Amino acid sequence: MKTIIAILTLLMLQQNCNQETTWALNYRAESRGFYKELVCDGITLKHRSARQGTFKTRNLRAKEQESLETVLKTIDPNNISEPDQSKSMIDAAALASLELLIDGVAYSYEFDHGHPPKELEELMTKLLTLSEKVE
């Protein structure tokens, strides 16, 4: 009887450990004379600044990974406000798109580069700051 209880306990603990959130993101900002693309899977960050250029890759440190995951946990991907996109309409800012993949569900947002919706500001600030360390 004790063996059965021990096995069931281990199975429940294993299920709880496997319930970690998986995520990835792809950010792209472009205009006539500007291009930036970032791809992050939580472990590595890839960056390129030319449409046909090659990606520069950087492994994220444990603290950087935790920081991004903490910010992602605060975001409700179904409740993102509509951003003002007026600057990209007149070429005052590059048009940016962010694709988030959280637990197999894809979310997509468009906004002016440098002016994300307020719910995504902290994530974009951290992501763009980390991308500067790639180059």
Task: State how far the Cα of 47 lies from the Cα of 133, in Å rounded to an integer.
Answer: 10
pLDDT value at residue 132: 87
56 forms bridges with which residues in the sheet? Answer: 47
pLDDT value at residue 16: 42
- 20-42 mean pLDDT: 90
What is the CA 100 to chain-centroid distance, rounded? 6
pLDDT value at residue 115: 87
- 4-32 mean pLDDT: 63
Range among 4-18, 27-41, 83-97 rated most confident: 27-41
Q: Which residues of 65-79 are buried (b: 16+ CB within 10 A; e: fewer)?
A: bebbeebbeebebee
Region for residue 104 given its phi and psi (left: phi exceeds 0; alpha: psi -120 to 50; beta: otherwise): left
- Which residues have CB under 8 Å from 66's CB, separation 6+? none
